[in-house]
């Protein structure tokens, strides 16, 4: 009985958060569903009305809401994934690689500035500013002895700032043609619907679940998103090759709205007042570093777009230091190239997780050694 009441309260939290997304979507903002949901969920998490009984923990609402949102997005992307992203990488690999290296360099600079201005230790400062994902960075930080709580909070705030700035700016700049395209897409999907497509939808969901387990086994970041996307892409490619035509599934555009609501509500539910106690200076400095990081990535995205011919929307979302699911959701809504965004975002996370921790350890080793030497000399 308690379990059912708890689920209903969480469900009500998601619905109320989604109402915020609906209200913001009325303004014509293309990514309004996710941004509005995120803002409303954050407000509810801060105020914590008694009738909702929101869990008072860092994880927020149960993770299966986030996983459902990621899985929906993964199936959406898997159906659209094709060899064009590989050709784009082949044609522009040098520019993409240089920009990713610059991204890592900016991350190191932000971490260094954060360390010097804040009162945190070196490892915590560098891990807190590294754009490697909200789940990956705290877990790696814990292994090397950094302050996992601080890293988690600042990583969450970074993603929050990125989601509230980059999608909103891009949606405002390029909103004229997007809404019309979305209406046309929904209309076409509605007209093309056939009852036998329901079976294909069930098959795709099953394939996505299998892909998740494989992604988890292979240690993919965000396995519900990436595992389902890759498995769906492979399944669609093989089935089309064998049958000689594409298998169509019933996949209305409204599902992407649900995906935005679930992802936005999950992120917003992680915020609570206690996590910011005594961290005013730290959060202020980290926010400034994040804003500087965002501006530098916008500049890099513009350069890549000008050199390679990749649209600015796609380039900006691909290099944005935000979450994979959030940036790819924005790419779907704004009609960028979501598969390219996923590929670059995943490449960035892997590069950050593989390259930066050893660098952080080495820098920390030199700092500790330097301090010991100074103490001995004194």
Under the banding of pLDDT at 50, 70 and 90, the label for residue 180 is very low
pLDDT, position 84:
62
Distance CA 165, CA 65 (A): 24
Under the banding of pLDDT at 50, 70 and 90, the label for residue 185 is very low
Q: How many other C-beta atoms are found inside a 10 Å radius of the C-beta of residue 55?
A: 18
Mean pLDDT of the chain, nearest integer: 76
- Mean per-residue pLDDT for 36-55? 80
Tokens of residue 193, six digits: 């619907």
Q: Residue 60: left if φ>0, alpha if ψ -120 to 50, beta else—which one?
A: left
Under the banding of pLDDT at 50, 70 and 90, the label for residue 187 is very low
**pLDDT tens for residues 227-247?**
888 888 888 878 877 776 667
pLDDT, position 177:
45
Q: Which residue has the tokens 């169509």?
A: 248
Instruction: Look at residue 209 and tell me whether its pLDDT is greater than 90.
Output: yes
Distance CA 191, CA 61 (A): 37
Q: What is the pTM of this model?
A: 0.66
Report the greatest alpha carbon distance in the chain. 81
Tokens of residue 283, six digits: 């959060």
Distance CA 150, CA 118 (A): 12
- DSSP readout, 176-192? HHHHHHHHHHHHHHHHT
SS3 89: helix
**pLDDT tens for residues 308-366?**
888 888 888 888 877 676 777 778 777 788 878 877 877 777 677 667 777 777 777 77
**Of 17-21, 58-62, 334-338, where does the model show the most confidence?**
17-21
Residue 210 near residue 231, CB atoms below 8 Å: yes
pLDDT, position 82:
60
Percentage of the chain beyond pLDDT 70 is 77
Residues with Cβ < 8 Å from 375, sequence gap 6 or more? Answer: none
Percentage of the chain beyond pLDDT 90 is 4
Distance CA 345, CA 327 (A): 8
- Mean per-residue pLDDT for 168-197? 54
pLDDT, position 190:
43
pLDDT, position 378:
57
CA 304, distance to chain mean position in Å, is: 21
- Mean per-residue pLDDT for 44-49? 83
């Amino acid at each position: 009985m308690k379990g059912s009441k708890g689920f209903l309260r969480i469900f009500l939290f998601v619905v109320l958060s989604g109402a915020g997304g609906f209200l913001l979507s009325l303004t014509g903002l293309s990514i309004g569903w996710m941004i509005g949901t995120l803002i409303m969920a954050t407000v509810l998490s801060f105020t914590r009305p008694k009738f909702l009984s929101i869990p008072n923990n860092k994880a927020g609402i149960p993770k299966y809401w986030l996983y459902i949102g990621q899985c929906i997005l993964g199936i959406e992307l898997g159906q659209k994934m094709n060899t064009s992203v590989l050709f784009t990488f082949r044609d522009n690999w040098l520019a993409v690689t240089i920009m990713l290296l610059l991204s890592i360099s900016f991350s190191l600079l932000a971490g260094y500035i954060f360390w010097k201005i804040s009162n945190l230790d070196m490892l915590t400062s560098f891990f807190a500013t590294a754009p490697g994902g909200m789940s990956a960075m705290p877990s790696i930080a814990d292994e090397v002895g950094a302050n996992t709580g601080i890293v988690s909070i600042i990583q969450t705030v970074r993603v929050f700032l990125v989601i509230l700035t980059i999608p909103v700016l891009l949606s405002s700049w390029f909103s004229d043609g997007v809404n019309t395209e979305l209406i046309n897409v929904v209309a076409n999907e509605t007209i093309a619907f056939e009852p036998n497509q329901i079976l294909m939808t069930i098959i795709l969901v099953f394939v996505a679940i299998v892909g998740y387990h494989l992604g988890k086994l292979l240690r993919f970041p965000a396995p519900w998103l990436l595992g389902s996307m890759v498995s769906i892409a492979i399944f669609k490619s093989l089935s089309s090759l064998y049958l000689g035509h594409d298998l169509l599934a019933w996949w209305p555009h409204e599902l992407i709205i649900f995906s935005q609501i679930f992802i936005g509500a999950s992120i917003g539910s992680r915020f609570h007042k206690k996590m910011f106690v005594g961290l005013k200076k730290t959060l202020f400095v980290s926010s400034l570093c994040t804003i500087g990081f965002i501006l530098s990535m916008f500049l890099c995205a513009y350069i890549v777009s000008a050199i390679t011919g990749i649209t600015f929307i796609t380039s900006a979302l691909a290099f944005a230091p935000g979450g994979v699911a959030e940036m790819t959701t924005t790419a779907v809504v704004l009609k960028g190239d979501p598969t390219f965004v996923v590929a670059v975002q995943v490449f960035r996370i892997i590069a950050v997780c593989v390259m930066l921790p050893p660098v952080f350890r080495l820098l920390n080793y030199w700092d500790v050694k330097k301090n010991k030497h100074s103490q001995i000399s004194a």
